[in-house]
Structure 1
């Protein structure tokens, strides 16, 4: 068992890049992780890491050993967890990464029935608009859009990630009518910075007939949070470009209305992300199934479509 613990500490340290980060994933202290790796190195007779005060990097032997054992370790851990789940039910800590407002508005309400169905699962959720590194950060699952699909990660589409233009009734009443995309030129815009690059992407509008048009709003306000953009739009600060799922609660409460309802931005998909493993932990599998079924029952894929009546 000591050898298995050492291998687990080694693999998680290699993934996370430090003993401290691996310790957070494993529920140990950094000192314990370091000692377990050191014992493993003595047992193998090779140095697995080059250590400095600032950096932890794999040696050539360490990289070869990591490739040999990582998949087997994951399969063994999941086999043990799934064997236990057959008698006790899915159990353990479920670490999920969710966008701020979207997670609160749509996913948190799904949590109560999930925990009631699986009382041995504990939810540990992080709310952040920035995409996470699913493997290195030790998450079981993430929900969002715009993730880089790295090796070892699977994306399961839940709904379209259409973006639409919204503004307050007062803002629209106080200015010239906006009937075509060309009418956006020079109007105050509330735009979202990319969480990955910090820049504002030049999105292109499209319609059901395949026509395209540039968005030429004045970049008056820049945010990194879509809910803040919706709030600013509701206060009459300008026209916001946000995902349908962000705009929908504000539209339903009558705080904003759709601008150019025949036009939207194609933004890929809102997806579930999880490790690509043949033997997925039961806690992760039942959570994925619960989210997919909740989206179906609530018709969220339809409601998040830019052509749904609720947002036209």
Structure 2
């Protein structure tokens, strides 16, 4: 079966999602009707919920407040295979307001922010890292402090750079630490050159997603693969699709599947996610994902 324990560090919020036909322009206005939904959000929760539903023993660490929103996050993360570890942030639970349009585009507003330098007992992370087969470090400020422990225990680091522009120095620590890098091409018009440069720096895998245009992957052994989206999945809410994509890929990777199948599973996982207003498709399971793969891609591994 392969590796089975994943540690995800950073990223649990409580979000308000507002669905509009089109994103509002920069003018004073009143919008009288919209879709509205509140749910747990952020990149760590999204990855952890998908990974746990795919049968991987998943630990998520995040910051939450000693408030009602923190309690709602705790309740939402009480699911099989998911172990939620947290520290209390004196600034309270981070909250986002996400404006979403019918094409899946998003404007994210940080209504509150978590602490940049929270007080943490790093010793408690040692067993979590030591027992995990891979570590996902999300680009949440405090997670950088765990990079030395990942190196100490020789754990492969995966990271998600989201809409990195290829220059922002905030991402440098993650670029240096991670052997497996995911990102989007939103701010990278020359994304293939950036991917090639990262592979040249010794990265084992670089994956760049393009929204409705699919994704591109490159590996250290010279593979380059493109994969389109599956248009059969009807868009309801694109929030969390990137995290679902990465979780589906990790699931395939830990099962020892070839790059092509890992990309297909990732695409399917993201496709299922956009059909619901949650971070992970409620019925997601290994059996469902494998059956969907056979339906859309055939039986090859």
TM above 0.5, yes or no, is no
Q: Give the TM-score, by structure 1 length.
A: 0.23
TM-score, normalisation: structure 2: 0.24
Q: Which has the higher contact order (CA 8 A, sep 6+)?
A: 1
